[in-house]
Structure 1
Amino acid sequence: MDIQNTNIFANTAASTQQKQSLTDQSSFIGKNDFFKILSAQLKYQDPMSGGDNSEYIAQMSQFAMIEKLENLADQLNTLYNLNSTNHAMSMIGKQVDLETLETGVVSGILERVEISQQGIKYVVNGETYAYPKVLSVGSPVQVIE
């Protein structure tokens, strides 16, 4: 019986790199930075002119938006991790073709998936492969004697 291949995520490593660049905290102002700026403005404001109330309200609403966006980014990151884990586990017991930088293309039955802080690793033919590119997934080949 032939393997019926199904194209899936093109490259787990590329997806991981995209996720890391999207969630890189150093590329935007966080709530701590915002509070530092706000406290510096209050500390060094002109005592003769006072502060503009509408400006402070606008800054507080910006702070609320920043906090909500940080929460949304955390939730999306959690969803991405759950989806990646679910996807990897759905391939257990299936015939897979993986491509890695070290070994090239590897074919075999996906025996298990190892999940850690570093990411998802696939075990095929008793060997563990970290961050492989999944080329195809199909039903296991059945040998008829």
Structure 2
Amino acid sequence: MDVNPVSSSTATATSAADAAASKVGLDYDTFLTLLVQQMKNQDPTEPMDATEQIAQLATFSQVEQTIKTNKNLEMLLQSSNLTQAGSIIGRTLTSHDGEVSGIVQEVTVSANGLVATLDTGDELAVTNGVTIK
């Protein structure tokens, strides 16, 4: 088995992030298993440098922590959106151009943000320029 070393930590981080994102089951233990197999099957005439092995391990650890941080940030953002959605129900929203206005009856939370359904039946995205009274 011939394994080419990665010369850039950015390339390693990108490929590790792509692998982690595409395979939910990939974790730290899997990486260690792969690293051990790589060491067992390396060419004895051109062994992998120990510094490179440590760099790969550190990079994978950073990627794993980044994935965990992103998940926590997504949960925090979702919680913030739900709090904001609850706080505008019953209040008057007016679009930035003043053409759409009404009292918020319900709010839908989506990946693109909040969409308020007004008492007039209109839907208004809660974005920059929308006035809340």
Decide: shared fold, TM above 0.5: yes
Take 1:47 and 1:105, find their aligned partners in 2: how far apart are those partners?
A: 74
Structure 1 residue corresponding to 2:101, chosen from 95, 107, 114: 107
- TM-superposed deviation, 1:118: 6.9
Contact 1:121–1:128 (CA<8 Å) still a contact in 2?
Answer: no
- Kept in 2, the 8 Å contact 1:122–1:129? The answer is yes
Distance 1:108 1:130 in 2: 9
Native 8 Å contact 1:96 1:108 kept in 2: yes
Letter in 2 for 1:136: T
- Name the CA distance, whole Å, in 1 between partners of 2:69 and 2:55: 21
Matches within 5 A, 1:47-66: 47-66=44-63
Deviation track 1:84-128 (CA, whole Å, cap 9, x = no partner) reads 22112101111111359xxx7311111111345675331102425
Map of 1:137 onto structure 2: 132
Matches within 5 A, 1:1-145: 28-29=14-15, 30=17, 32=19, 42=38, 45-98=42-95, 105-115=99-109, 120-129=114-123, 131-133=125-127, 135-138=130-133
Query: Does the Cα contact within 8 Å between 1:31 and 1:66 map onto a contact in 2?
Result: no
Root-mean-square deviation (Å): 3.3
Structure 1: where are the runs of 5+ without partners?
1-27, 139-145
Q: Which runs of 5+ in 2 are unaligned?
A: 1-13, 21-25
Instruction: For 2:67 and 2:43, locate their aligned partners in 1 and report how far apart those are by CA, in whole Å.
Output: 32
Greater percentage in helix: 2
Q: Distance between the aligned counterparts of 1:118 and 1:62, measured in 2?
A: 32
Distance 2:126 2:45 in 1: 64
**Matched letter for residue 50 of structure 2:** N
Answer yes or no: is the 8 Å Cα contact 1:92–1:112 preserved in 2. Answer: yes
Moved over 4 A (4+): 116-119
| Alpha-carbon distance in structure 2 between the residues aligned to 1:130 and 1:137 | 12
Percentage of pairs with the same residue: 25
More strand by share: 1
Q: Residue 96 of structure 1 contacts residue 135 of structure 1 at CA under 8 Å; is this kept in 2?
A: yes
Displacement after TM superposition at 1:45 (Å): 4.2
Secondary structure (helix, strand or coil) at the match of 1:123 reads: strand
Output the amino acid matched with 2:61: A
